[in-house]
Amino acid sequence: MKRDDVERGKGRISAKRRMNKEPLDRISGHFFLVILGFCVGLAGINIGLIFLLVNVLQWSAIAIVHLVLFYWLVAAWLLTVYLRAQVRKYYEEPARKISEAAKEISGGNFDVSIPLIHEDPERQDFFDGTIRDVNKMAQELRSIETLKTDFISNVSHEMKTPLSVIRNYADLLAASKSEDPKNREYAEIISDNAGKMAELISNILRLNRIENQRIVPDVERYDLIRQISDCVLGFETVWEEKQIEIDINLEDRCYIQSDRSLLELVWNNLLSNAFKFTEPGGTVSVRQTSGKGTVTISVADTGCGMSEETVRHIFDKFYQGDTSHSSEGNGLGLALAARVVSLLGGDLKVESKEGEGSTFTVTLRAEE
C-alpha cells in the first residue's frame, strides 16, 4: 500500500472519530472552565462584599445575610440562563431541525436540506454527522422518486397503445355474427377488462402529473350545480338497476371559479363509490350548501361503512378497504380525487362508521 493511501486512510479515520464525538465531549471542558471561573470569581466577590459591609459600612448581620442571599440568587439565575442557552444551542436546536426534516421526509417531501451547524470539519460533532446523513438520505429518496415517476409515466404511455388495439379487436369480435355465443361472450369480457386497464392507466398518468405539478388547472367560471346534477344523472342506470333512492338537496345555482374537467373526476369518483357500496334498496344523498366564500358538497351513502383503520388510509394510492369490491376498482379513484381537490385549493374529508355508511365532504372556494 502506498504512503499516500495510508495517510488518506488515517485522515478518514480521524474525521470519522471527530464525527462520532458527542457534543458533550466537545463542550464539557468548556463548560467546566466557565463554571469554575464563574464560581471562583463570585466567591471572591462575595468575600469582598462581606468584608466591605462588615468593616466599612458597619451593616447589621441580618442585612448582610439578606444581601448575600440575594447576591447568590442572582448569580444562580445568571448561571442557569447561561447553561440553558448552551443546551438549547448544542442540543435542542439541532435535534429540532433533524426532527422537522424527518417529519417532512416521512410525509413525502424529499426536497429537504438542513444546513450544517459547523462548516469547519475540525469543529463538527455528532449532530453534524446526523444532519449530513439525513441530507444524503433525502437526496437518495429524491432520486428514487424521480426514477419511479419517470418509469410509471413511460410504462403507462407504452401500455395505452397495445390496450387500445386489444380492445378494438375484442369489440369487433363481439359485434361479429359468430355462430358460437361463447366467442362473443369472451370478446366482451376481453373488451371490458381492457377498458378497466385503460382507465387504470389514465388515472395513474393523471395522478402522476398532479403529484409532480405537471397539471395547471384550467380555471373558468361555471355553474357547479349543473355539473353535479349531470354527474348524478350519468349514474341513472346504476341506481335504477339497484333500486337505490336518490336524495338530492342543491341550490338553484352556484357559480365557482375552478377547473371543470378536474372537478368532474371528483364527483364521478365519489358518486361511483357511493353507488358501488350501497346495497340494493339503500339511499345515496347529495347535498350542497354555500357559506361566506365557500361551497360545501357532501356525498353520503348507506353502505357498509369503513373501520377507523380504513378511514386513515382511504386516500392512499392503491388502498382498498373493502376487498369484496376489489374487482370493481383499482384503489386510485379517491387518491386522485383528494389530489385534485387539494390542487384546486379545496379540502376533502370523510366520516364513516362500520355498518352505517360513509359521507365524503368537499369544500371549495366560491364566488362571494
**pLDDT for 25-57, tens place per residue?**
455 556 666 666 766 666 666 666 666 666 666
Flag residues of the chain having pLDDT under 70. 1-36, 38-59, 64, 149, 152-153, 156-157, 177-179, 203, 209, 211-214, 318-331, 367-368
User: What span, in angstroms and rounded, lies between the C-alpha atoms of 152 and 138?
Assistant: 21
Contact 310, 325 (CB under 8 A): no
Report the pLDDT value the prediction gives residue 7, as an integer from 0 to 100.
Answer: 45
Contact 333, 315 (CB under 8 A): no
81: cell is 440562563
User: What span, in angstroms and rounded, lies between the C-alpha atoms of 88 and 82?
Assistant: 10
User: What span, in angstroms and rounded, lies between the C-alpha atoms of 231 and 264?
Assistant: 7
62: cell is 441580618
The string of pLDDT tens digits covering residues 104-129 is 888 777 888 888 877 777 777 777 78
User: What span, in angstroms and rounded, lies between the C-alpha atoms of 214 and 210?
Assistant: 6
5: cell is 493511501
Report the pLDDT value the prediction gives residue 5, as an integer from 0 to 100.
Answer: 47
Report the pLDDT value the prediction gives residue 50, as an integer from 0 to 100.
Answer: 67
User: What span, in angstroms and rounded, lies between the C-alpha atoms of 121 and 119?
Assistant: 6
Paired with 19 in beta bridges are: none
Report the pLDDT value the prediction gives residue 301, as an integer from 0 to 100.
Answer: 92
Element (H, E) at 285: strand 283-290
Report the pLDDT value the prediction gives residue 296, as an integer from 0 to 100.
Answer: 93
User: What span, in angstroms and rounded, lies between the C-alpha atoms of 229 and 225?
Assistant: 6
293: cell is 366564500
Q: Is the dihedral of CA 65, 71, 72, 74 positive or negative?
A: positive
User: What span, in angstroms and rounded, lies between the C-alpha atoms of 269 and 127?
Assistant: 47
169: cell is 379487436
Contact 336, 269 (CB under 8 A): yes
Query: Grid cell 383499482 — which residue?
Result: 330
User: What span, in angstroms and rounded, lies between the C-alpha atoms of 361 and 325?
Assistant: 22
Report the pLDDT value the prediction gives residue 285, as an integer from 0 to 100.
Answer: 93
Report the half-sphere exposure of 23 (CA within 13 A, side-chain side).
16
User: What span, in angstroms and rounded, lies between the C-alpha atoms of 60 and 63?
Assistant: 5
Report the half-sphere exposure of 206 (CA within 13 A, side-chain side).
23
What residue ranges define each of the domains in the chain, with the CATH number in brackets? 3-107 (no CATH), 219-365 (3.30.565.10)
Contact 116, 124 (CB under 8 A): yes
Q: Report the phi/psi class of residue 357: left, alpha or beta, with left for phi > 0 and alpha for psi in -120 to 50.
A: left
Q: For strands 245-249 and 283-290, give the pairing.
A: parallel
